[in-house]
Chain A
Amino acid sequence: MQNWLILLPEISLLSFFPISFLVNRYRSSKTSKTFFTLSKFSLLSSIFFTLIFYNQSVVPDLLLNNQYSTMFKLLLYATALVWFYLSSKWFLNKNRTSYNYYSIAMLMVFLFGILISAQNLKVLLFCIPLLCCLTYKLILQHWDEERVSHVARNYLYFSMLFILCLYLGVLCLRYYAGSFSAITIKNWLQSQAVIAPEVYTSAVLITMVLLFMMSAAPFHLWFVDTLSLSILPVCGFLSIIPPLAYLSALIFLTNGTFLPLYHNLMPLLHTVAILSLFIGSLSTNEENNIRRLFAFSTIYNLGFMLLGVLSFKSGAIVSSFVYTIIYVMAMTGIYTVFLGLKSKGDYLSDISDITGMSDTRPYLSAAFAVFIISIIGVPPMLGFWGRLSLTDTLVLEERWLDAVLLLCALVIIANTFIQIIRKIYFKPSMIHFDRTDKAIYICLFVNLLLAMIIILNPSYMLKYAENILSGGL
C-alpha cells in the first residue's frame, strides 16, 4: 500500500485523462478553461505529492526520485502550469476546443516527469518514441491541419530515424554491458580498459537522439518550421517545457552513465554546442517572422546550455542549470507578450507587426525589451547572471576559444535584438492592437518581479541548486 502511495504524483497527473475525457464527453457547458482547470488541479496535486515523496521510489532500478529529479520535476510542473494558464487565454480568444491540446500536453508532461527520474535505458526506449508521437500530434493541433501537416510529417520521418538510432544504441549497449541499468552500464564502462568502437557509437547515437529532441543544431530544422506554423500555445509549449526535461536527461546520461566515455562524447557535444550558438545567432539576423526568430534564439540558447554540459563537471552543470532557468523565464515572458499582441482577433507573427508597439502598448513593449535584453545578458537583467556563470566556468577550465566564440555569438544575436527594440521604440505605430487581457499583464508582472528578486539575491537560490545538482549526479 505504501508503495502505491509513492506513485501519487504520477497518479495525480494521470487522473487528468479520465476526468477530462468524461467532461469532454458528457458536460455540455464546457469551455476551453474547463480543461485548464482540470490540468491545474492535476499539476498542483502532483507538485504537492512530488514534494512529499521527493526521495521515495517504487522501482528505484527504473525510476529514482531524489533531490535532483524533484528539483527538475517541480520546475517542469510549475512552468507547465503557467504556460497552460496562458494557453487557456488563447483558446478562449479563439473560441476553440482545448481538449486535445491539454490532453497531449499533459501526457507529454507526465512522460517528461518519468524521463527525468529515469535510471534505466528501458525508460528511454519507452518514453522517447511516445514523446515523438505526441509531439507529432501536438504539431497537428491547428484549425487548418493542411497548413501544418507537411511539417508534422517531416518531423515524424526524422523522429522515426532517430528512434531507430535510439533502439540501435540501447540494444547494442545492452548486448555489451549485459544490462539496461544506467548504473550497471556505467560500472561496466569504468571496468573496461579499452572500449569497443560499437559501444561509444551507441553512446553517441543515444546522445544524438536527445539532442534531436532538444532541437539543437544541426537537428533543428523541424523545430523552426514547427514554431513558424503552429498555434501559439504549441509554440510556447515546445519552446519552454521540453528543454528542461531533455536537459535533465542529457545531464544524467552524459555526466552519469556515459561519464567514462567523456573523450568520445565531448567532440559531438562540442560541435553541436558551437553549431547551435552560431546557427541560432546568425539565423536570427535574417528572420522577419518573429516566431521563427525566437525559434532560432532557442537554438542559440541551447548552444549556451550545452557548452556548460559538455564540461562534465558539477560546477559547469550548475551554470547550465542557471542559464536554463533564466532561459525558461525569459521565453515564458516573451511568449506571454506574444499572447498579448493581437490585432482584429489574430495573433501577430511578423516583425513588421510590432513596429511602433511602444506607442500603444508601453507596458508590453517594456516587458518585451526587458526579456530580450535579458537573453543577451546585459546587466542588471537576469540574463547577465547566466552569461557570467557560464563564462566563469569556461575561463575556470581555460576553454578560451569557447569563451571567445560564446562572446562572438552574443554580439551577433545582440545585433538582431537591438534591431527589434529599434523597431518597437523608434518607429511610428503601424497597427491597431486589440485590448490585452489583464491576466497577461499580471503574468508579466509576476515574471519580472521574480526575476528582480532572483537578481538581487541569486546566491540564495543557487545554494540549494548547487547542492542538489552535485549530489544528484
Chain B
Amino acid sequence: MSNSFAILSLIVALPFLGMLFVFTAKDSKEIQGRNAFNVCVFTILVNITLIWRIFMIMNEKSHSLQLQETFNWLSTPDINIIFAIDTFSLLLILSIHLAVLIGVFGVWRNSFKQKSLMVFTLLFLSMSTGFFVSADIFSFYIFFEAMLFPLFMIIGMFGEVKKQELIYRFFLYNFLGALLLFSAIMLIYHYYGSISLTKVGNLPLKGAMRNFIWGIIFLSFISRIPIWPFHYWISSINSSIRNPLAFIITSLLPLTSIYGFIRFLPTAFSADIDIYLVWMNIIGVVTMLFISLIGFINKDFQYKIFSYITVYYIMYLLGIFSNQKVVLLNIGYSLFSFIMIVSALEVLSSYIYHKEQEYETVSQGFLCRTKKLSFVYSFLVIAAIGLPFSAIFVNNFLILSKLLGTNIHIGMLLVFSLFVVGISLLQELSHLKREDSVCKISKTDDIPWSMFFLMLFVIFMLLMSFIKPLWFVINE
C-alpha cells in the first residue's frame, strides 16, 4: 500500500516543528515554562490523533510494511529514505507517544528549565518516531543514532544523576554502539546497496563477512539492552534518574534495540548461528535472574522498576530469538501495555518520592492516606505483575508458553525471574500500604484530579487492550 499523502513524514516532522516552536516560545520566571509545556502537550496530542488515523487507513492484519513514502535523498552514495509501517511499529510509536505524554504530565509542576526539557523531549519523540517508521537501512541508522543526542541532554540536564562522569560515558558507549551499526550498514550498502529493512534478514551473506556483519549488528543492538556484560552504564544511569520524564525516555532506549533485532534478525537460522543463540539465551536468563534478585533486595523503588523493565525487555528479546512470527505480534501487544504501565508507575513513584523529600518523612503508609493514588497505584502494580488487567496477561502467557516449549530449563528460570520482579513490586506496594504513624502524609497530598484522570485514562486503555489489543481501530 503506497501513501499519496506523506502522513508518516508528518508524524516525524510534527514533533520537530513543535520543538522549534517550543524553542522560540516566551519564557520567564513567572511563566515557568507553561508555554513550552502547552505546546509540547498539544504537539503530542495532535500526533497521537494522526497515529490513530494511520491505524484506520492501514491494513492492521497485514504483516508487510505499508503506506510507503520514498524520498531521493542522495545520489552519491545512492540513498533513498523510505518510510513505511506495519501494525507492530505503529503500536510502538503510539505507546511511545502515550508514555511521553504521561511523563510530560509527571513533570507538570517542574520549574527547572522546563522549556529545555520540552525541547529535547520533542526532539527525542521526533527521532524515535522516525526510527520506527524507517523502512530502509540508512534511515533506520540515522534515527538510531539521532535519538542519542536528545537522550544525552535529557539525562544530563534533568536526570539528577549525581555522578556526572557516568552520563558522558553513557553517551560515548552508545555512540560507539551506533558506530558499529554504521560500519555494518556501510558494509551492507557496499555489497547490496541501500536495501529495504524487510530484505535485511534474507541477505545471502557467507563466511567471515557474514559473521562480522551480524556480529557488529548484534553488538550494537545489545549495547542498548542492560544485559551482561553491557549492563553497567545503562543500569547505573537508569537507576539513579529521579526525573520521571527522563526515566521514561531512558527506559525506551532498549526498545530501539528490541525493534532492531526484529528487523535485522535473519529469517532462517543456520546451525552455526543456533549455538550463539543458545549462549545468548543463557546469558539473558542469568542476567534476568541477577537483576530481579538485586531488585528484590534493593529498597530503592527506582531500582525495582528498573529491574522490572530489564527483566521484561530480556524476556521480549528471548521471545524474538525464538524467531516465530506469531510471538512477534504478541510481543507488540504486550510491549504496548508494558510501556504504559511502566510510565504511569514511574510518574506515581516519582510523585511519592518528591513528597517524601518535601516532608522529610518515610513513604511507609503513604497510600493509606491518599485514596486516589492508592487506587491507581495498586491497579498498575497488579497489571504490571501480569494479572488479567491488561494485554500483558494474555500475550506474556503466549510468549512464555513458546519459550517453555523451546527450552524448559531456560523457560523455568525466566518464569522465576518474572515472579521475583513481580514480588518486588508487590513488596513496595505493601510497604506503601502499611500504616505508619511517623508518616507525615495527609489527604491533601493525594495526586491532583488532573493526574488522577490521566491515570484513569491509562487504566481504561489497559483494560481495553486486555479485551482487544487494537480496540481503538475503526476500519473504514
Q: How far is the CB of A448 from chain B (nearest CB, A)?
A: 11
**In the bound complex, CA of A295 to CA of B355 (Å):** 50
Query: Which residues of B lie under 8 Å from residue A378 when comparing CB positions?
Result: 145-146, 148-149, 175
> Could you tell me how many residues of chain B have their Cβ less than 8 Å away from some Cβ of chain A?
34
Query: Which residues of B lie under 8 Å from residue A407 when comparing CB positions?
Result: 179, 182-183
Q: Is the interface of B mostly helix, strand, loop or mixed?
A: helix
**In the bound complex, CA of A437 to CA of B423 (Å):** 60
Contact A411 B172 (CB under 8 A): yes
Given A395-B186, A407-B179, A426-B164, A459 contacting B75 (CB threshold 8 A): yes
Contact A425 B157 (CB under 8 A): yes
Query: Which residues of A lie under 8 Å from residue B172 when comparing CB positions?
Result: 411, 414-415, 418
**In the bound complex, CA of A418 to CA of B169 (Å):** 9
**In the bound complex, CA of A354 to CA of B153 (Å):** 17
Contact A422 B145 (CB under 8 A): no
Give residues 178-219 of B contacting A (CB, 8 Å).
179, 182-183, 186-187, 189-190
Tell me, yes or no, whether A384 is within 8 Å of chain B by CB: yes
**In the bound complex, CA of A458 to CA of B186 (Å):** 19
Contact B167 A422 (CB under 8 A): yes
**In the bound complex, CA of A422 to CA of B152 (Å):** 9
Specify the chain B residue showing the minimal Cβ separation from A358.
B116
Query: Which residues of A lie under 8 Å from residue B33 when comparing CB positions?
Result: none
Query: Which residues of A lie under 8 Å from residue B179 when comparing CB positions?
Result: 407, 410-411
The range of chain A's interface size is 35 or more
**Which residue of A362, A373, A419, A458 is within 8 Å of B116 (Cβ)?**
A362
**Which residue of A318, A373, A411, A421 is within 8 Å of B76 (Cβ)?**
A318
Specify the chain A residue showing the minimal Cβ separation from B138.
A388
Tell me, yes or no, whether A389 is within 8 Å of chain B by CB: yes
Q: How far is the CB of A430 from chain B (nearest CB, A)?
A: 16
**Which residue of B72, B149, B167, B176 is within 8 Å of A373 (Cβ)?**
B149
The contact string, 1 if C-beta is below 8 Å from chain A, for chain B 92-127, is 000000000000000000000000100000000001
The contact string, 1 if C-beta is below 8 Å from chain B, for chain A 390-427, is 01100110000001000100110011001101100110
The contact string, 1 if C-beta is below 8 Å from chain A, for chain B 67-106, is 0000011111100000000000000000000000000000
Tell me, yes or no, whether B260 is within 8 Å of chain A by CB: no
Q: How far is the CB of B158 from chain A (nearest CB, A)?
A: 10
Q: Is the interface of A mostly helix, strand, loop or mixed?
A: helix
Contact A459 B187 (CB under 8 A): no
The contact string, 1 if C-beta is below 8 Å from chain A, for chain B 316-358, is 0000000000000000000000000000000000000000000
Tell me, yes or no, whether A25 is within 8 Å of chain B by CB: no
**In the bound complex, CA of A463 to CA of B78 (Å):** 12
Q: How far is the CB of A263 from chain B (nearest CB, A)?
A: 25
Given A388-B77, A389-B77, A459-B72, A422 contacting B146 (CB threshold 8 A): no
Tell me, yes or no, whether B52 is within 8 Å of chain A by CB: no
Tell me, yes or no, whether B23 is within 8 Å of chain A by CB: yes
**Which residue of B142, B153, B175, B190 is within 8 Å of A411 (Cβ)?**
B175
Contact B153 A379 (CB under 8 A): no
Contact B145 A379 (CB under 8 A): yes
The contact string, 1 if C-beta is below 8 Å from chain A, for chain B 127-155, is 10000000000000111011011001100
Given A411-B175, A425-B156, A395 contacting B190 (CB threshold 8 A): yes
**In the bound complex, CA of A385 to CA of B186 (Å):** 13
Query: Which residues of A lie under 8 Å from residue B168 when comparing CB positions?
Result: 415, 418-419, 422
Contact B156 A389 (CB under 8 A): no
Tell me, yes or no, whether B171 is within 8 Å of chain A by CB: yes
Query: Which residues of B lie under 8 Å from residue A385 when comparing CB positions?
Result: 74
Q: How far is the CB of A120 from chain B (nearest CB, A)?
A: 32
Specify the chain B residue showing the minimal Cβ separation from A466.
B76
Query: Which residues of A lie under 8 Å from residue B148 when comparing CB positions?
Result: 378
Q: How far is the CB of B351 from chain A (nearest CB, A)?
A: 25
Give residues 75-132 of A contacting B (CB, 8 Å).
none
Specify the chain A residue showing the minimal Cβ separation from B79.
A388
Q: How far is the CB of B170 from chain A (nearest CB, A)?
A: 10
The contact string, 1 if C-beta is below 8 Å from chain A, for chain B 256-286, is 0000000000000000000000000000000
Contact A379 B142 (CB under 8 A): yes
**In the bound complex, CA of A320 to CA of B148 (Å):** 27
Contact A380 B146 (CB under 8 A): yes
Query: Which residues of A lie under 8 Å from residue B175 when comparing CB positions?
Result: 378, 411, 414
Specify the chain B residue showing the minimal Cβ separation from A392.
B77
Query: Which residues of A lie under 8 Å from residue B171 when comparing CB positions?
Result: 418
Query: Which residues of B lie under 8 Å from residue A462 when comparing CB positions?
Result: 74-76
**In the bound complex, CA of A446 to CA of B1 (Å):** 39
Tell me, yes or no, whether A236 is within 8 Å of chain B by CB: no
Q: How far is the CB of A454 from chain B (nearest CB, A)?
A: 11
Find the residue from A358, A391, A426 having the highest chain B CB count within 10 A. A426
Find the residue from B72, B127, B153, B187 having the highest chain A CB count within 10 A. B153
Contact B167 A396 (CB under 8 A): no
Contact B149 A426 (CB under 8 A): no
Give residues 32-88 of B contacting A (CB, 8 Å).
72-77
Q: How far is the CB of A460 from chain B (nearest CB, A)?
A: 10
Contact B72 A391 (CB under 8 A): no
**In the bound complex, CA of A463 to CA of B73 (Å):** 12
**In the bound complex, CA of A380 to CA of B175 (Å):** 14
Contact A463 B149 (CB under 8 A): no
Give residues 1-52 of B contacting A (CB, 8 Å).
23
Given A392-B186, A411-B179, A422-B164, A380 contacting B76 (CB threshold 8 A): no
Closest 6 CB pairs of A and B: A379-B142, A392-B77, A426-B156, A379-B146, A459-B75, A395-B190
Write 6 A-B pairs (CB below 8 A) sorted by A numbering: A318-B76, A392-B186, A407-B182, A419-B168, A422-B167, A458-B73
Add 11 more A-B contacts to A315-B76, A411-B176, A466-B76 (CB < 8 A): A373-B149, A378-B175, A379-B141, A379-B146, A388-B77, A395-B189, A414-B175, A422-B167, A425-B153, A426-B164, A457-B73
Could you tell me which A residues sit within 8 Å of B by CB distance? 315, 318, 358, 362, 366, 373, 378-380, 384-385, 388-389, 391-392, 395-396, 403, 407, 410-411, 414-415, 418-419, 421-422, 425-426, 457-459, 462-463, 466
